[in-house]
Chain A
Amino acid sequence: MTAIPISWFLTLSAILFVLGVAGFLFRRNIITLFMSIELMLNAVNLSFVTFSYHNKDVGGHLFTFFVMVVAAAEAAVGLAIILTIFKNRSTLNIDDVNTMKD
């Protein structure tokens, strides 16, 4: 084999994405939840770059760039929110911040 088929990259991206979703569904710590979201974003970045290679267009790279910017902003704000939640509820368990009636 001299080169990697492009579908492998996309499949890898899919695997990473699914792992990110799995982390989001099954973990209870809010920070770990956040990290799963970052993992999902990275997987999507990979597929953007792959498509950019496929279409020979730099636009995919630009999109990845913007995704990174947004992810950074989101991480900043999100972690600030987590700090506030921790201050109010003293817990980092996502199921415990639910105040809705059963």
Chain B
Amino acid sequence: MPITPDVILFVVFGLIAVLAAINVVVQTHPISSAISLVAVMGSLAMLYLLLGAEFIAAAQVIVYAGAVMVLFVFVIMLLNAGTEVRKGRSFMVQLLGVPLLVALLGLTAYFVQRIYPARETVHFGGFTGGSPQDIGHALFTTYLLPFEVTSALILIAIIGAVVLARKEID
């Protein structure tokens, strides 16, 4: 049975995403986690392309991987964070952490499998409405209010960040 490039792309980049995500959680030094996170975001961008979300894929790489993660790396280097010291324990986390995670994964996977039939498949070109033109059109008509509100949000965030992080003027 023919294996299309879609499947190969999905498997490869899905695997990279998962492995990088595990790496984020497992690494002791924050900078290693940051780099792994960049890898996750990159693979996710690839997956977005598969799903026909061209604009989102580009935005992911430019905004998320290119700006947010760079900010993270800046802060890590500023604070000179070293490897994490393993001290302090929490009773709740030790007791319930793993079981709850397993439960969450199990439940979600189960419901997903049940609700979405296997007939529905994803392949390149299955959805063509993700072009910048379509996004722009929706952004400025149906979703105009959230758009404006978000701009205010960004403004507040900028001011907040500046206020919080500045040096006190004596």
Q: Could you list which residues of chain A lie within 8 angstroms of chain B, going by C-beta atoms? A: 1-12, 14-23, 25-29, 31-32, 34-36, 38-39, 42, 45-46, 49-50, 52-54, 56-59, 61-62, 64-66, 68-77, 79-84, 86, 92-96
Contacts and interface: CB of A to CB of B under 8 A. Distances in A.
B90 A45 contact: no
Contacts of A54: 116, 120
Interface of B: 1-4, 6-7, 10, 14, 17-18, 21-22, 24-25, 30, 33-34, 37, 40-41, 44, 47-48, 50-53, 55-56, 59-60, 63-64, 67-69, 71-72, 75-76, 78-79, 81, 84-88, 90, 93, 97, 101, 104-105, 108-109, 112-113, 116, 118-123, 126-127, 129-130, 134-135, 138-139, 142-143, 146, 150, 153-154, 156-158, 160-165
Q: Which secondary structure characterizes the binding site on chain A? A: helix
A73 B154 contact: yes
A56 B120 CA distance: 12
A37 to B, nearest CB: 11
Contacts of B150: 66, 69-70
